[in-house]
A and B are shown apart, each in its own frame.
Chain A
Amino acid sequence: MSSETKQILTTDGIPLEVSLKKAEKKNKIKAFLLVAPLLFFLIITYVFPIGDMLFRSVDDKMVTQMLPKTFKAMENWDGQELPDEEVFAAFHEDFIKLVEEKREGKLSTQLNYTKNGFKSIIKKLRRASKKFEEGNYKEQIMSVHKRWADVEYWRAIQRRAPEFTGQKYLKGMDMYVNEEGKIVSVEEDRRIHRVLWLRTLEIAFFVTVFCFLMAYPIAHLLATLPMKYSNLLMICVLLPFWTSLLVRTASWMILLQQQGIVNDFFVGIGLVADDNRPEMMYNKTGSYVAMTQILLPFMVLPLYSVMKTISPSLMRAGKSLGGTPFIAFWKVYFPLTIPGIGAGCLLVFILAIGYYITPALVGGASGTLISNQIAFHMKSTLDWSFASAMGLMLLSGVLVIYWLYNKIVGIDNIKLG
């Protein structure tokens, strides 16, 4: 018999295989259509804007568009000696146009980012340029200020020619491109961002450790107590979980203030003198205490859900085989809780590393994190491209952790409450 006659046909006379594939495809499309509205909504309002941040963070078209003729003329310049008349003439032409549009101030700010000293010489050039005669611009511009005759400054202008730059990312790491085009660190006393990155990592790490140390015993207690008691105690974990972040931060502000209850208590038990109350808020201590309490439920819940599945007879078996309770715990119970530990720690770390509200309110100057710096540049300095660059640096860190989380726990296994 040939293979064709062997084929099973449906009642319509279509081969079963084809019919099944068709049904399968239909189901796939159906499932996708259900997901599609949310997926497209998120892609348009969320994923693309994050891509837009990436674009903004490297975008450096401003100067490129302000000095188009200059950069065209500079293409043939080797950057060794001062550029020749052609470049100066082009620069003059671009500059006059900018003065007419009253945009030369923006140019000076931008160029000053690249090299200090542009602000004053551009102001001088603007005044002088009104009396410029036609022709021989090189001589005329150079006579305005000696820096215009310095090849370093022309190289600085040339460095702004590309439309894209990684400069903001370097700035986020306290580095910059120096005159020779090498990447170097800024002076020791001006390295603000590295300190912030390290502090963010440090606080996130220790908050995670504290949360783990506090959550492990209570998760164990909740998992081993009889239902009616554990349900009651669970409220202690869930009520803070559902309460507004700002309310919880406010309560810490009341507790930790200098005339607050914690300080009263310390004075009461004679730990500190009444006139020498320690400052517990507006510094790192405030950030540590408040963040640990606020993030604690996120550690307890995953630990609890894992511990709940561990049979108590395993510990009994361990003990009956001759282990002390400690050995039985360490060799039997603890290894079984590792998935929960991984989930809780990664969750708390991810949340802590991007924390903004609590550090801003109780952290003071020494307890603020990288998020606060991003918000500062978004709202105060309006350097949005720098804020974008720092945001993406933070995001890439979080995505690495997220990826690890997915490997270890799987995102489908996230449990809430």
Chain B
Amino acid sequence: MALPKYTEPHYRIWHYIYLTICGAVFFFLIAPLFVIFPLSFNAEEFLSFSDGMKRLDPDAFSLRWYKDMIYGTKNPWGLAAKNSFIIAIFATIGSVILGTVAALGLSSRHMPYKGLIMAVLISPMIVPLIISGVAIFFFMAKAGLAATHTGIVLAHIILGTPFVVITVTATLSGFDHSVTRAAASLGSDPVNTFMKITLPLILPGVISGGLFAFVTSFDEVVVVLFLAGLENTTIPIQMWTGLREQLSPTILAVATCLIILSTLILVTAELLRRRSERLRGINR
């Protein structure tokens, strides 16, 4: 941001102080993530930069912890990753279907008690996770679903739907309903109209809601801690146990993989957001 030439000196100083503060905050936000990356290639077992690493000695770096992550004996990461993906995928599908359908109803201007119902649908996002965890555990224990994949998937659907409801409702707020009426007047039945007209238009919102639901499930640990048995271990649970007991570099290797995954998700979400803005711009 360039300052105009006539700016007085002391405002100029203020401006540079302001930019320095901003730089420091951005550094504070992003730098911690980049600590993990080099340390995961550490050849030694310590979680700090060895002298060799500081000299950029190639021998100080290795893929040892990545090998340990994949091939390590009695390593839980394989099972955990499998469980995490299965649970997250099913939870995402469930959240997207339930959430999108509910959002369609909610954005209808005929919906009665909109505020109250919206408050209930969003509540899992607002209520502290620990309370959700206790409540869901009581339910799953009664229903005999504790320590099962089904139970965890259902729990994650509960936690994921608010995100889908919010994003899809937001997308629908710019939706031109005359296109669905046009479809209906041309003889299309409601299901066909939804699949051919509405869904393609709101798809960016649906997918970004789905991404939120996926990340929520994939990253969720509080509720799973209550629900999971040994068989249902997930990546967050393994990380949690690892971080509590002993910080090993293998965890950093896993963390690096997770950062790459989140970067991919971020890029997808950003592209979708821009596409959605473009689509809605056309509608207006």
Taking a contact as CB atoms under 8 Å apart, the answer to whether B47 and A38 are in contact is no
B111 partner residues in chain A, CB cutoff 8 A: 28, 31-32, 35
Asked if B131 is at the interface of the complex by the 8 Å CB criterion, the answer is: yes
B215 partner residues in chain A, CB cutoff 8 A: 242
Taking a contact as CB atoms under 8 Å apart, the answer to whether A398 and B127 are in contact is yes
B265 partner residues in chain A, CB cutoff 8 A: 242
Taking a contact as CB atoms under 8 Å apart, the answer to whether A244 and B122 are in contact is no
Distance between Cα atoms of A24 and B263 in the complex (Å): 47
Asked if A183 is at the interface of the complex by the 8 Å CB criterion, the answer is: no
What's the nearest-Cβ distance from chain B to residue A394, in Å? 6
Taking a contact as CB atoms under 8 Å apart, the answer to whether A375 and B247 are in contact is no
Asked if B91 is at the interface of the complex by the 8 Å CB criterion, the answer is: no
Taking a contact as CB atoms under 8 Å apart, the answer to whether B28 and A411 are in contact is no
Taking a contact as CB atoms under 8 Å apart, the answer to whether A378 and B117 are in contact is no
Distance between Cα atoms of A236 and B105 in the complex (Å): 36
A239 partner residues in chain B, CB cutoff 8 A: 30, 33, 262-263, 266
B255 to chain A: closest residue by CB: A247
B270 partner residues in chain A, CB cutoff 8 A: 238
Distance between Cα atoms of A259 and B119 in the complex (Å): 47
Asked if A261 is at the interface of the complex by the 8 Å CB criterion, the answer is: yes
A49 partner residues in chain B, CB cutoff 8 A: 135-136, 138-139
Asked if B80 is at the interface of the complex by the 8 Å CB criterion, the answer is: no
Taking a contact as CB atoms under 8 Å apart, the answer to whether B166 and A416 are in contact is yes
Could you name 27 residue pairs across A and B whose Cβ atoms are closer than 8 Å? A24-B110, A27-B110, A28-B112, A34-B108, A38-B99, A38-B101, A41-B157, A218-B25, A225-B1, A236-B29, A244-B218, A244-B236, A245-B221, A246-B239, A250-B243, A250-B247, A252-B32, A254-B247, A254-B252, A354-B128, A375-B225, A379-B226, A388-B134, A391-B130, A411-B118, A416-B163, A417-B269
Which residue of the partner chain, among A215, A245, A412, contacts B169 with CB atoms under 8 Å? A412
A55 to chain B: closest residue by CB: B138
Known: A46-B135, A215-B25, A392-B131. 11 other contacts (CB 8 A): A31-B112, A38-B98, A41-B98, A45-B136, A218-B25, A244-B219, A246-B239, A250-B255, A361-B240, A387-B134, A391-B135
Distance between Cα atoms of A236 and B117 in the complex (Å): 35
Taking a contact as CB atoms under 8 Å apart, the answer to whether B262 and A244 are in contact is yes
A360 partner residues in chain B, CB cutoff 8 A: 244
What string of 1s and 0s marks CB contacts (under 8 Å) between A9-29 and chain B?
A: 000000000000000100110
Distance between Cα atoms of A35 and B167 in the complex (Å): 15
If A45-B158, A225-B1, A242-B265 touch, does A39 touch B130 (CB 8 Å cutoff)? no
Interface size counted on chain B using CB atoms at 8 A: 92
Asked if A233 is at the interface of the complex by the 8 Å CB criterion, the answer is: yes
What's the nearest-Cβ distance from chain B to residue A26, in Å? 9
B238-284 CB contacts (< 8 Å) to partner A: 239-240, 243-244, 247, 251-252, 255, 258-259, 262-263, 265-266, 269-270, 273
B222 to chain A: closest residue by CB: A356
Distance between Cα atoms of A46 and B36 in the complex (Å): 37
Distance between Cα atoms of A249 and B221 in the complex (Å): 13
What string of 1s and 0s marks CB contacts (under 8 Å) between B40-73 and chain A?
A: 0000001111000000000000000000000000
A387 partner residues in chain B, CB cutoff 8 A: 134
Taking a contact as CB atoms under 8 Å apart, the answer to whether A221 and B255 are in contact is no
A32 partner residues in chain B, CB cutoff 8 A: 105, 111-112
Taking a contact as CB atoms under 8 Å apart, the answer to whether A56 and B128 are in contact is no
Which residue of the partner chain, among B104, B131, B157, contacts A391 with CB atoms under 8 Å? B131
Taking a contact as CB atoms under 8 Å apart, the answer to whether A356 and B48 are in contact is no
If A246-B236, A411-B118 touch, does A52 touch B139 (CB 8 Å cutoff)? yes
B11 to chain A: closest residue by CB: A325
If A235-B266, A356-B222 touch, does A255 touch B32 (CB 8 Å cutoff)? yes
If A218-B25, A293-B29, A353-B128 touch, does A378 touch B226 (CB 8 Å cutoff)? yes
If A47-B120, A254-B247, A391-B130 touch, does A38 touch B262 (CB 8 Å cutoff)? no
A243-272 CB contacts (< 8 Å) to partner B: 243-255, 257, 259-261, 264
B225 partner residues in chain A, CB cutoff 8 A: 375, 379
B179 partner residues in chain A, CB cutoff 8 A: none
What string of 1s and 0s marks CB contacts (under 8 Å) between A37-58 and chain B?
A: 1110111111111101100100
If A254-B36, A254-B39, A354-B130 touch, does A249 touch B29 (CB 8 Å cutoff)? no
Asked if A331 is at the interface of the complex by the 8 Å CB criterion, the answer is: no
Taking a contact as CB atoms under 8 Å apart, the answer to whether A371 and B130 are in contact is yes
If A217-B18, A240-B33 touch, does A33 touch B120 (CB 8 Å cutoff)? no
A360 to chain B: closest residue by CB: B244
What's the nearest-Cβ distance from chain B to residue A136, in Å? 47
Which residue of the partner chain, among B25, B128, B239, contacts A394 with CB atoms under 8 Å? B128
